[in-house]
Amino acid sequence: MADLKGKKAFVTGGSRGIGAAIASQLASEGADVAITYSKSAETAHQVVSEIKQYGVNGVAIQADAMQAESVAAAVKEAIRQFGGLDILVNNAGIFELKSVSETTLEDFDRMMQVNVRAVFAAVCEAVKVMGEGGRIITIGSVFGDVMPFTGGSLYAMSKGAVAAMSQG
């Protein structure tokens, strides 16, 4: 990874798991990092404390990935606080298994809202300020191409959608 000193990054779902590891790595390379969290402010602030140990700025912003407007507002807030944005990492997502016969339209809406619509909303806000060399990274899944077990069709569809959007 190239030196990211002075770069400004935004990681959705950055308060735990893969998102927290991504945020930490970006900070270790010199980027200021904003993360989103949905519920646990305490956990998010622990990640921000770790980010700041690298001598960079860190901020936690509450955003509900079920609401694309909330994610878009979080991106705007990070841009306001950092004065720009160079890197967007769409990491927040949900994984639920259900057979198609048990899946409801509400299940469909929830999966698409979090895994597709929120990603699109974040991208739309980020590209407004990203200059040349800006990067948008969307965490996908091999399940977007191949679903090897029953119950994952909605998840596969959502990851296939963001892969297609990224290619476009």
Question: Smallest Cα–Cα separation from 61: which of 26, 80, 134, 128?
Answer: 80
Question: Smallest Cα–Cα separation from 159: which of 135, 139, 129?
Answer: 139
Quote helix, strand, coil % in the chain, to nearest 5. Answer: 50, 15, 40
| 8-167 has CATH 3.60.150.10 classification | no
> Helices 105-112 and 153-167 meet at what angle, rounded to 10?
30
Catalytic residue among 37, 54, 143, 155: 155
Residue ranges per domain, the chain? Answer: 8-167
Q: Is 37 a catalytic residue?
A: no
Name, in order, each residue with C-beta under 8 angstroms of 112's C-beta and a sequence gap of 6 or more. Answer: 158, 161
Please report the pLDDT score of residue 145 as a whole number: 61
| Ranges 8-12, 88-92, 150-154: which has the least confidence | 150-154
Q: Convert the pLDDT of each residue in 126-152 to its tens digit.
A: 999 998 999 999 987 656 667 677 778
CA 135 to chain centre: 13
Whole-model pTM: value is 0.91
User: What letter represents residue 37's amino acid?
Assistant: Y
Q: How far apart are the first and last CA of the chain?
A: 24
